[in-house]
Chains A and B, each alone.
Chain A
Amino acid sequence: LAKTTQPISMDSYEGQEVNITCSHNNIATNDYITWYQQFPSQGPRFIIQGYKTKVTNEVASLFIPADRKSSTLSLPRVSLSDTAVYYCLVGGPGANNLFFGTGTRLTVIP
């Protein structure tokens, strides 16, 4: 079971860049790192996924060091609508033991 560790909560002002780091020391060779965002009373939704180095899409960047034992989700210029819980997961195709943990509760302050 690839367990992950994230900060429980973070606060940020609007317009700032937010970096959330996740530790996953026992990541397996074929595991991908995936981040999800969850709003209250909704299902989590995919933000970004990577295997190594850096991945960027229209909403976030994901930085993965060479040893892959951690990863950092970067949200540029956050807005109030980015207030949510963010989960980091590691796993591969057909994975049935994805560990969600409690995620990181991000609060964006006006």
Chain B
Amino acid sequence: DGGITQSPKYLFRKEGQNVTLSCEQNLNHDAMYWYRQDPGQGLRLIYYSQIVNDFQKGDIAEGYSVSREKKESFPLTVTSAQKNPTAFYLCASSAQRGTGELFFGEGSRLTVL
């Protein structure tokens, strides 16, 4: 089935550690996005990529890094510089020539101990 796969679903991290969240899509979409969601809040854009080997900062990029070496993959690294990393992270993709519809993964919940 076509879709977006995020892993791991749950992740625990000690303060000062970097962690990488995986996002893979087989929808042949050009654009991919990472969002952060805090309890009771909407989604905030961290990074987005519209083509391979190119990505742009979103509204809250500080403390995060990404790469886009393959069309199918857009991993997100939460670095130790992120002051409040405990959150629900969502990856999405969309077709560049579509109508802007976003397809989301099931999310990764990161907890910093």
Contacts and interface: CB of A to CB of B under 8 A. Distances in A.
A52 B97 CA distance: 19
A44 B31 contact: no
Interface class of chain A by DSSP? loop
Interface string B42-58: 11110010100000101
Contacts of A93: 94-100
A54 interface: no
Interface string A28-62: 00011010100001111110010000000000000
Interface of B: 4, 31, 33, 35, 40-45, 48, 50, 56, 58, 88, 90, 92, 94-107, 109
28 contacts: A34-B100, A42-B107, A43-B4, A43-B90, A43-B106, A44-B90, A44-B102, A45-B104, A87-B42, A87-B43, A93-B95, A93-B97, A94-B31, A94-B96, A94-B100, A95-B94, A96-B31, A96-B45, A96-B48, A96-B50, A96-B58, A97-B45, A98-B100, A100-B35, A100-B43, A101-B42, A102-B40, A102-B42
